[in-house]
Homo-oligomer: A and B are copies of this chain.
Amino acid sequence: LTQPPPWGINTNIRLTLPVVCFVWQIAMIILFGVFIRYDEESDTHWVETKAHDNITSDIENDFYFRYPSFQDVHVMIFVGFGFLMTFLKRYSFGAVGFNFLIASFGLQWALLMQGWFHSLDPQTGKIFIGVESLINADFCVAGCLIAYGAVLGKVSPVQLLVMTLFGVTLFAVEEYIILNLLHARDAGGSMVIHTFGGYYGLTISWVLYRPNLHQSKRMQGSVYHSDIFAMIGTLFLWMFWPSFNSAITDHGDGQHRAVINTYLCLASTVLTTVAISSLSQKTGKLDMVHIQNSTLAGGVALGTAAEFMISPYGALIVGFFCGIISTMGYIFISPFLEKTLKIQDTCGIHNLHAMPGVIGGIVGAITAAAASESVYGKQGLINTFDFTGDFKDRTVLTQGGYQAAGMCVSIVFGVVGGAIVGSILKLPIWGDPADENCFDDEVYWEVSEPESIPPILEYNNHMIHKQQDL
């Protein structure tokens, strides 16, 4: 009678999940043992480095330039992304918990992958890490968490870990191509993080299309308190986005300017998001989905140009249009994607990351191409676009072209990578939930009683029993 469930509906992950966690973590330890070392600013030999380089004060350690931003980014990754996805009525454990799991794995793997591609020391064969490496690892993880948004509630934690393994790998490669080979600038990752992550997730969701997802319709949508939990995620993302876009920009004016631009851009996005959201309802009521998501689109879209001299009103303009486009995406494009293109995008990452990411890439390309010595100053232009070494003769127009090329690379990596990884995830071995059990924490979590409202229960029971007595 109790037959083993057919492949694909067996959500028992008692074997696969522990095995993957243990094996991968042991692999991380071995690879870290072989490759990863402290860099000169986090090593006890820093005292000698200081003497050698005539550094007079410990405050010159890169740690003090970047640590506050790093912690903000860290909050965005774990609280921001995690809580943003708690909006579903019964998938908050999965939202916060699996986000926690895959980010924790992803950042280790990212340190290795990004290390091999960006900072492998040819002499020692080692990767030397410091606070900037931690930020980059968090950034890399962000790409995978964006992708998680598209498949939220429809995959198993094992699938998520696989998705993260490949996602980080693809990320490191496309990042290497875009930043190192094309020498494009993308400090806040409009292209390398958001565009890539968005299309990676959307393509995976497309491959994993579930025609009968309506069977779990009762679990879709939010409840009052889950919407408020999600606002915790929204606000921490929104507030700390200036840190995100400035975390790895140049010391001094570079970080300063990226903060100002992002701060302004996001403020502008809020107003147009509210406007379109209100317009979309008969009586002008606001939709929480829009407020939770589209208000963030401006931060995404300024990921590339935040460090440029886009000027304060330029930042406002970008935010203005992103709020409009992203909100309209939720109203018009998401239903279209689901119906026509068969892309089920749980969190609407197309509207929050993919589309604004592409806008960000375009804005970056245009702003770069329009840069001039009169605005930036001679040295300022060189510093901002890093026109040094092999690239010292590059013109801003060429730079604009390479920026545009970078955006295409990120899309291609997202789509092709997503298609391949999606196919792997389609194998019936990963313990993903049946259509009728999607968006339900009960599948992978020990869930306690739904809500303890003894008084109401008691009151009703009391009434019921009173009637029975009658």
Q: Which of A16-24, A408-416, A418-426 contacts B (4 or more CB under 8 A)?
A: A16-24
Chain B residues within an 8 Å CB radius of A181 = none
Chain B residues within an 8 Å CB radius of A57 = 60
In chain A between 251 and 297, which residues have their CB closer than 8 angstroms to a CB of chain B? 251-253, 255-257, 259-260, 263-264, 266-268, 270-272, 274-276, 278-279, 281-288, 291, 295
**B33:A313 contact, CB within 8 angstroms:** yes
**B320:A263 contact, CB within 8 angstroms:** no
Chain A positions 412 through 455: 1 when the CB is less than 8 Å from some CB of chain B, otherwise 0 = 00000000000000000001000000000001111111111111
Chain B residues within an 8 Å CB radius of A42 = 253, 256-257, 259-260
**A450:B455 contact, CB within 8 angstroms:** yes
**A380:B271 contact, CB within 8 angstroms:** no
Query: Is A36 among interface residues, defined by CB-CB distance under 8 A?
Result: yes
Docked pose: A253 CA to B448 CA in angstroms: 45
Chain B residues within an 8 Å CB radius of A272 = 21-22, 25
**B61:A253 contact, CB within 8 angstroms:** yes
**B37:A311 contact, CB within 8 angstroms:** yes
Contact residues on A (Cβ < 8 Å of other chain), bracket: 35 or more
**B129:A312 contact, CB within 8 angstroms:** yes
Docked pose: A451 CA to B463 CA in angstroms: 18
Chain A positions 131 through 175: 1 when the CB is less than 8 Å from some CB of chain B, otherwise 0 = 100100000000000000000000001000000000000000000
Query: Is A322 among interface residues, defined by CB-CB distance under 8 A?
Result: no
Contacts A48-B380, A104-B268, A134-B260 supplied; 10 other A-B pairs, CB < 8 Å: A14-B281, A17-B274, A17-B275, A30-B313, A44-B375, A47-B380, A50-B252, A79-B239, A131-B256, A450-B455
**Chain B nearest CB, measured from A215 CB (Å):** 16
**A93:B271 contact, CB within 8 angstroms:** no
**B456:A46 contact, CB within 8 angstroms:** no
**A14:B228 contact, CB within 8 angstroms:** no
